[in-house]
Amino acid sequence: MGNLSALTPSKDFSYKLKNMTEKELAIKSIGYRKNILKYIFHANAGHTGGSLSCIDILNVLYNHAMNVSPENFKSPDRDRYIQSKGHSVEALFVVLAGKGFFPESDLNTLCKYGSHYIGHPTRKVHGVEQNTGALGHGLPISAGTALAAKLDNRKYRVFTLLGDGELPEGSNWEAALTAAHYKLDNLCAIIDHNKLQITGPTSEVCNTNPIDAKFESFGWAVRHVDGHDLNELKETFDGLPFTEGKPNLVIAHTIKGKGVSYMENVIKWHHGVPSEKQYEDALSELDNAMVTIPDDF
Amino acid sequence: MGAVTEIEQGKAKANLDVFSSTLQDLAQHDRDIIVVTSDSRGSGKLAPFGQKFPEQIIEVGIAEQNLVGVAAGLASCGKKVFAVSPACFLTARALEQIKNDVAYSDNPVKVIGISAGVSYGALGSTHHSLHDYAVLRAINNIIVVAPADNFETEKAIQLAAKTDHPVYIRFGKKAMPLLKEVNDDLFEFGKGRVIAEGNDVVIIATGETVYPALQAAKKLKEQNIAAAVVSMHTIKPLDTSLLTALANKCKAIVTVEEHSVYGGLGEACASYLMQHAIFKPFRIIGIPDEYTVTGSQQDIFNHYGINEKGITDVALGLLK
């Protein structure tokens, strides 16, 4: 315990961020959304709403904020991403495929017999750091991973995506204590705060509000962000660590089913699969959105 | 308990103490050795480790789920992590973390269950771990080990430090005499140790029940019954070739464990033998499915016949 608390916070990240334009990122987001729908439609299974709510966050993480790629995936200095809300695996798979971790066509086997592309993240898929799926596991593992960086004086950061519905899991709060105790400012938890879970609004199922005050009282530095505003997400991650010596929490306000109007904020799309007609409608809505992306914004 | 020779008494230390000193030896030469504790450095005899290697011990407070999750994260970055907590809490409260974060994700955490079985005898069932073999046997990708004496404990800890896959090791806190005068045999996970030879009955025991099994074998010898005694320190993977060889040459088989009679060493042996058509009189000695009696570990052992007399009587009954 003692000496570890005295470790210096890691402020100077040697990794220089890439500069993808807003337009390039926006095009990627739409492409990812189309792929999420495509593979869920073909698999006839998947967590549609949550994948659409977190995809912009993953886009900015993998294409802007994080130093991770197929080339450096074995490096001990790579940034780590651990998806605690494992059920939104389609979002992770389409982004990893886009980064070149595996051929996108592999996703045609999603949820098929014997496929490695199952309904939750698994390390059998290149690019996945940890097997997740049971909720409340990502934050403790991420804290341990961030702690290892401190012990070895490495500069990598650890990003972990939590669902707002998994916050009642007690293990999150155990890890929140540990992360603050060991001053893990190289840890960034992001809550995909789409405010819905399978039974209903999170505030009605088990009210965890105010999330910010809870984490702040645990010793975290907290930021709110529009989880679909790519620019805001970029700026937020560029500002890490928010406070030296404190673990970082980004509360990303999102819309479940974002991008497909008939899915937005509708609970049945938690793991609903679109019909052929619905699928086509969704694709044309996204194609229209692609056309209307401004040149610079 | 039967007589323990002076030499044996002189050598006897708790496996817990050997665990602690072995870890210190390892940490001396390897900065990647990390101990993670949940307010358990006292009960784990790890205070000296913490004093000598303050940067190699991580305290998470009383939070076993977090203990195992943090350990998994550390292990994924190349740390040789010993996650130490009383076996009762570690393998029940944090079972999902052991299942997913350690075993399924193949993070090579060394899960160390201290004061296992009924070591905390008088503290009652909350503090007993009589389920750990059963639940961990049913989880893929974790080795389950219960060393019997100081030799096996030292070897198990050294081996675990070198192993790239998950291992669970549990032991108690009572002084355990050495089973053999000379320990020159190889210690490997998944290879039982034959402590005594004999062709009449084989007593297969694990952890701290091997010693009373050996005492029973000595007692049986007085009646001209030759009992083989095996320290089956690895419950999973089970040494099925040794089991088969001994079962084929003996007239009866007794298993002994500090665990529920359900799902542990005895049922693992019985299942294997039955499925391989090796039918011998067979009895499992362990803790029956009832509200466990309380008292010291020895009181509980005596109550359920996990002692020289109990094991002797069961063996004699099978040979009648």
- Is A44 near chain B, with CB under 8 Å? no
Percent over 90 (pLDDT), chain B: 92
Which of B53, B62, B65, B70 is the best residue to mutate to test the A interface, defined by the most A CB atoms within 10 Å of its own CB? B70
pLDDT surpasses 60 at B83:
yes
pLDDT at A181 over 50: yes
CB A10 within 8 A of CB A185: yes
pLDDT at A8: 43
B66 touches chain A (CB under 8 A): yes
Q: How far apart are CA A194 and CA A255, in angstroms?
A: 5
Over residues A91-117, the mean pLDDT reads 96
* Chain B interface includes A292 (CB < 8 A): no
Q: What is the pTM of this model?
A: 0.94
- pLDDT value of position A81: 98
* Average pLDDT of span B137-158: 97
CA atoms within 13 A on the CB side of A194: 34
Share the mean pLDDT of chain A: 93
Determine the distance in angstroms separating the CA of A231 from the nearest CA of chain B, rounded to an integer: 31
Query: Does B134 share its domain with B216?
Result: no
CATH number assigned to the domain comprising residue B135: 3.40.50.970
Q: What is the pLDDT of residue A296?
A: 64
C-alpha to C-alpha distance for B63 and A171, rounded to whole angstroms: 8
B187 lies in some domain: no
The C-alpha atoms of residue B201 and residue B50 are separated, in whole angstroms, by 46
Which SS3 state, helix, strand or coil, does residue B281 take? coil
Among candidate residues A268, A264, A270, the one with its CA nearest the CA of residue A282? A264
Give the CATH architecture of domain A21-291: 3-Layer(aba) Sandwich (3.40)
User: Which of these three, B130, B146, B176, is where a domain ends?
Assistant: B176
pLDDT above 50 for A11: no
pLDDT at B125: 94
Find the domain containing B48 and state its range: 12-176
Q: What is the mean pLDDT of residues A33-42?
A: 96
Provide the angle, in degrees to the nearest 10, between the axes of the packed helices B15-29 and B150-162.
Answer: 40
B209 shares its domain with B135: no
Strand ranges in chain A using DSSP code E only, listed in sequence order: 80-83, 158-163, 187-193, 196-197, 200-201, 221-226, 248-253
pLDDT band at A277 (very low <50, low <70, confident <90, very high): very high
The number of domains in chain B is 2
The pLDDT assigned to A18 comes to: 58
**Which residue carries 């095996």 as its tokens?**
B230
As a whole number of angstroms, the distance between CA B265 and CA B242 comes to: 14
B211 and B249 belong to one structural domain: yes
The b-or-e profile of A109-137 (16+ CB within 10 A means b, else e) is bbbeeeeebbbbbbbebebbbbbbbbbbb
Q: Name which residue leads in pLDDT, A56 or B180.
A: A56
pLDDT tens for A125-172 read: 999 999 999 999 999 999 999 999 999 999 999 999 999 999 999 999
Of A176, A188, A196, A173, nearest in space to A88 by CA:
A196
- Strand, coil or helix: B240: helix
A143 in contact with B, Cβ within 8 Å? yes
- Determine contact, residues B159/B200, Cβ cutoff 8 Å: no
Pairing state between β B193-196 and B167-170: unpaired
Residue of A nearest to B59 (CA): A1
Q: Pick the last residue of a domain from B147, B176, B205.
A: B176
